[in-house]
Structure 1
Amino acid sequence: MLEKSLAKLLKLGFRHFEFFINTFSELEPSYVKSLAHMLQEYHATVKSVHPFTSGYESLLLFSGYERRFEDTLEFYKHYFEAADLLGAKLLVLHGQRIEKQGDMPEEGYFEHYHRLLETGRAFGISTAQENVDKFRSSEPNFLRRMRAYLHNDCAFVLDVKQSVRAGHSPFETCTAMGERLVHVHINDNKPGKTCLLPGCGEMDYARLMQQLAEQNFSGDCIIEVYRGNFDDPAELLQAKQVMEHFQRQFHKLTAINPVFAGKPFNMI
Structure 2
Amino acid sequence: MEIGISTAIFYPELLTEDAVKKLAEKGFSVMEVFANSFFEFREEYGYELKELAEKEKVKINSVHTVSSAFEPYLFDAYERRREDFFRIYQEFVRFGEILGAKAYTFHGLIRRPHRNMTFTDVVYMYERMVYEAGVHGMALAQENVSWCLSGDLEYLKRLKDAVKEPLKFTLDVKQAVKAGRSPYDYLDIYGEDLMNLHLNDHDRESTCLLPGKGAFDFQTLFRRVEALGYKGPGIIEVYKENYETLEELSESRKYLERIIP
Q: CA deviation at 1:100?
A: 4.7
Number of equivalent positions: 247
Q: Who is 1:35 aligned against? A: 49
In structure 1, distance between residues paired with 2:255 and 2:114: 39
- Identical-pair percentage: 32
Q: CA deviation at 1:230?
A: 0.4
- The alignment status of 1:218 with 2:213, answered yes or no, reads no
Q: CA deviation at 1:193?
A: 0.5
Deviations 1:53-89 (A, max 9, x none): 444422x112232221122111111111111111111
In structure 2, distance between residues paired with 1:57 and 1:81: 16
Structure 1 gaps, min length 5? 250-268
The answer to which of 102-111 and 2-11 deviates more is 102-111
Q: CA deviation at 1:102?
A: 5.1
| Match 1:66 to one of 79, 101, 117 | 79
Q: CA deviation at 1:241?
A: 0.7
Deviations 1:102-150 (A, max 9, x none): 5643333222111111112111121111110121111122222222222
Q: Who is 1:148 aligned against? A: 161
- The alignment status of 1:23 with 2:37, answered yes or no, reads yes
Q: Given residue 23 of structure 1, which amino acid in structure 2 is its aligned partner? A: S
In structure 1, distance between residues paired with 2:60 and 2:176: 24
Q: CA deviation at 1:51?
A: 1.9
**Is 2:126–2:163's contact at 8 Å kept on the other side of the alignment?**
no
| Match 2:191 to one of 178, 194, 197 | 178
Q: Given residue 171 of structure 1, which amino acid in structure 2 is its aligned partner? A: Y
Q: Who is 1:198 aligned against? A: 211
In structure 1, distance between residues paired with 2:64 and 2:183: 21
**Is 1:62–1:103's contact at 8 Å kept on the other side of the alignment?**
no
Q: Who is 1:6 aligned against? A: 20
| Match 1:45 to one of 59, 72, 90 | 59
The answer to which of 221-230 and 111-120 deviates more is 111-120
The answer to which of 106-115 and 119-128 deviates more is 106-115
Q: Who is 2:91 aligned against? A: 78
Q: CA deviation at 1:98?
A: 3.0
In structure 2, distance between residues paired with 1:19 and 1:103: 34
| Match 2:202 to one of 173, 186, 189 | 189
- The alignment status of 1:123 with 2:120, answered yes or no, reads no
Q: Given residue 90 of structure 2, which amino acid in structure 1 is its aligned partner? A: K
In structure 1, distance between residues paired with 2:201 and 2:118: 34
Q: TM-score, normalised by structure 1?
A: 0.86
Q: Who is 2:12 aligned against? A: none
Q: Who is 1:162 aligned against? A: 175
SS for the counterpart of 2:146 is coil
The answer to which of 120-129 and 92-101 deviates more is 92-101
SS for the counterpart of 1:212 is helix
Q: Who is 1:110 aligned against? A: 123
**Is 2:75–2:122's contact at 8 Å kept on the other side of the alignment?**
yes
Greater RCO, CA 8 A, separation 6+: 2
Q: Who is 2:9 aligned against? A: none
In structure 1, distance between residues paired with 2:226 and 2:153: 20
Q: TM-score, normalised by structure 2?
A: 0.89
Structure 2 gaps, min length 5? 1-14
**Is 2:47–2:98's contact at 8 Å kept on the other side of the alignment?**
yes
Deviations 1:226-253 (A, max 9, x none): 1111001010011101111233x1xxxx
SS for the counterpart of 1:193 is coil
Distance 1:152 1:82, change over 3 A: closer
RMSD (CA atoms): 1.7
Q: Who is 1:57 aligned against? A: 71
| Match 1:94 to one of 93, 99, 107 | 107
Deviations 1:4-43 (A, max 9, x none): 1111111111000001101122123232222211211232
